[in-house]
Amino acid sequence: MPDQPVKSYDKTVAGVVEAAEAFLATLDGTEKSKVALELTAENATARSHLPCGGTCRSCIKLGGYSGGTYFLAFFAFLAFFAFFAFFAFLAFLAFLAFLAFLGTPSTSGAWQLPFGGHHLAVNLSYKSGQVTGASPFFIGVEPTSWTDDSGTAHAPLENMRSALLAMNGSLSGAEQAKAKLEQSFSDVLVGPGEDGRFPEKKSGLAVKDLTAGQEKLVLAAIEPWVAGADDTTAASLMATYERGLGETYIAWSGTTGLTSHADHVRIDGPSVWVEFVCQNGIVIQNQIHHHTVYRDHTRDYGGEFTFS
């Protein structure tokens, strides 16, 4: 961790650009060639939650650097996003954090900021000085909760899980039966490498058939995923998703407890797509772990690309 104060920038697109430029200024020519890339669909979709290192992406591996100006600039850059910084820290501990800039950071043109590593993929898109997309956004955690050496308890996805449990818990028996899917899902359906592959037909229970109170719980269940963006963007997205509730469906499979392998919940609207799934543990095999993804049918990667 840096031993000097991290510079604070304005929390605006202009501030993001300023921080990005300061970070890029710490890199040599070879490093810049890895991190400053063209804004293309191929470059955008090469970001992955899998720990494949540089073999599946051109980017800079943040865990390979240890101090000085570069390190301070990196933390200054991440200081924009409280959301970003927390998950960046988790990935950084594993030395599997990767960063790139697609297009030139500016307040006029189009560019994207992909960041992530194992169990993490964050994508923020900018155009003409505005945030145009905050998805795809993937997170996984194993274990789902733990206590650190100081005695502090951590459960980073519990707010997401709890919101979905509240949504499903508000349903009557008949409503739960209508929302249940016949298929079983051991992972998210529209995860990394599955850009644009949303189901052709929406399945489950139509939100328009729910009470006003239940509709609020659906919105509350969407909010934790959208909250990763800046406040203005998050508010705009939530307003869009609220307007689309009449065409939104909720669904589940497995059990409704989100405690067992293949427990799955999704929210599918004209724009929003949220999935949460439980899997058997990989490293800790007697526990489940969580995968979740937030997508937008029209705003993934800022809507810059069309996927079949």
Q: Is the CB of residue 82 less than 8 Å from the CB of residue 11? A: no
Query: Do 125 and 50 share a structural domain?
Result: yes
Q: CB neighbours of 302 closer than 8 A, spacing ≥ 6? A: 110, 112, 125, 126, 127, 132, 133
Q: Is residue 138 part of a domain?
A: no
Query: Do 152 and 97 share a structural domain?
Result: no
**Which range has highest mean pLDDT (98-107, 136-145, 149-158, 195-204)?**
195-204
Query: Do 85 and 208 share a structural domain?
Result: no
Query: Do 170 and 128 share a structural domain?
Result: no
Query: Do 182 and 86 share a structural domain?
Result: no
Q: What is the pLDDT of residues 110-133, one digit of tens each?
A: 999 888 777 888 889 999 999 999
Number of residues assigned to the chain: 308
Q: What is the pLDDT of residues 257-270, one digit of tens each?
A: 999 999 999 999 99
Helix (H) or strand (E) holding 290: strand 288-296
Token pair 């529209």: residue: 190
Nearest of 160, 296, 201, 171 to residue 241 by alpha carbon: 296
Nearest of 157, 134, 154 to residue 228 by alpha carbon: 134
The answer to which of 24-28, 75-79, 299-303 has the lowest mean pLDDT is: 75-79
Query: Do 228 and 177 share a structural domain?
Result: yes
Query: Do 282 and 180 share a structural domain?
Result: yes
How far apart CA 30 and CA 39 sit, in angstroms, is 19
Q: What is the mean pLDDT of residues 13-36?
A: 86
How far apart CA 287 and CA 285 sit, in angstroms, is 5
φ, ψ of residue 61 to 5 degrees: the values are -90, 110
Query: Do 94 and 46 share a structural domain?
Result: yes
Give the residue from 109, 133, 157 where a domain finishes.
133
Q: Is residue 1 part of a domain?
A: no
The angle formed by the CA atoms of residues 144, 149 and 153, to the nearest 5 degrees, is 40
How far apart CA 191 and CA 300 sit, in angstroms, is 12
Q: Is the CB of residue 177 less than 8 Å from the CB of residue 224? A: no
Q: Is residue 186 part of a domain?
A: yes
| Better pLDDT: 198 or 2 | 198
- The pLDDT value recorded for residue 284 is 83
Q: What is the pLDDT of residues 45-100, one digit of tens each?
A: 876 555 554 555 556 666 555 444 554 555 555 544 544 444 444 444 444 567 78
Nearest of 62, 16, 58, 60 to residue 38 by alpha carbon: 58
Query: Do 288 and 216 share a structural domain?
Result: yes
Nearest of 299, 45, 298, 52 to residue 191 by alpha carbon: 45
Q: Is the CB of residue 236 less than 8 Å from the CB of residue 272? A: no
Q: What is the pLDDT of residues 236-265, one digit of tens each?
A: 999 999 999 999 999 999 999 999 999 999
Range of the domain at 282: 145-303
Q: Is residue 140 part of a domain?
A: no
Q: CB neighbours of 13 closer than 8 A, spacing ≥ 6? A: 107, 126, 129, 130, 131
Q: Is residue 292 part of a domain?
A: yes
How far apart CA 175 and CA 179 sit, in angstroms, is 6
Give the residue from 112, 133, 154 where a domain finishes.
133
Query: Do 292 and 184 share a structural domain?
Result: yes
Query: Do 99 and 221 share a structural domain?
Result: no
Query: Do 121 and 156 share a structural domain?
Result: no
| Better pLDDT: 36 or 96 | 36
- The pLDDT value recorded for residue 20 is 86
Q: Is residue 254 part of a domain?
A: yes
Q: Is residue 8 part of a domain?
A: no
- Other beta carbons less than 10 A from residue 87's beta carbon: 24
3-class SS shares of the chain: helix, strand, coil, % to 5: 35, 20, 40
Give the residue from 133, 159, 179 where a domain finishes.
133
Nearest of 269, 266, 243 to residue 253 by alpha carbon: 266
State how many domains the chain has. Answer: 2
Helical segments of the chain, H only: 13-24, 29-35, 41-45, 68-78, 82-93, 158-169, 173-179, 212-226, 231-243
- The pLDDT value recorded for residue 67 is 46
Q: Is residue 2 part of a domain?
A: no
